[in-house]
């Protein structure tokens, strides 16, 4: 009896670990454009895309490309949550950063409450390159899994 129970438990545990995981990416884009002229948002796609439909295959012996559906790649259904810009006319605004943190915390807590686990966070910056540039963003990708 103990052996049957052990075997049943092992089968159940292995079937649970074989179930596919689902991932979800949510992106925040925070403007670092001086004088508060940029736009900052949290972006959440509300539709799925199959990357294979937009992938072409190229070989070194063949100059032809398998055509992909590049025209249909845009996602038209998405949520856009406003964030505040890092800068305004007076310079860097720490209140804006704190407000953005509060909104991002709310979004993460909502995702966790809905069964998602925050698995990875990655960020990058394209910053102002000097007097002639005046452009820049701080982007963060939050990768959740279920």
pLDDT in tens, 15-66: 555 568 999 999 999 988 777 678 899 999 999 999 888 888 888 776 555 5
Residue 28 in tokens: 């925040």
Residue listed under structure tokens 């012996």 = 61
pLDDT tens track for 89-115: 777 889 999 999 999 999 999 999 999
Distance, in Å, from the CA atom of 134 to the CA atom of 146, rounded to the nearest integer, reads 40
What are the boundaries of each domain within the chain?
A: 22-145
Q: Which residues contact 132 (CB under 8 A, 6 or more apart)?
A: none
What three-state secondary structure class fits 54?
A: helix
């Amino acid at each position: 009896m103990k052996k049957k129970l052990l075997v049943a438990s092992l089968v159940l545990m292995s079937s649970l670990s074989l179930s596919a995981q689902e991932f979800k990416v949510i992106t925040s884009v925070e403007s670092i454009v001086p004088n508060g002229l940029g736009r900052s948002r949290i972006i959440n796609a509300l539709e799925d895309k199959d990357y294979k439909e937009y992938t072409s295959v190229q070989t070194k012996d063949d100059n032809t490309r398998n055509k992909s559906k590049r025209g249909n790649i845009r996602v038209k259904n998405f949520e856009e949550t406003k964030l505040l810009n890092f800068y305004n006319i007076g310079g860097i605004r720490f209140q804006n950063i704190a407000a953005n943190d509060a909104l991002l915390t709310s979004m993460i807590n909502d995702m966790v409450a809905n069964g998602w686990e925050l698995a990875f966070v990655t960020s990058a910056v394209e910053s102002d390159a000097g007097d002639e540039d005046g452009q820049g963003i701080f982007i963060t990708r939050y990768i959740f899994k279920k």
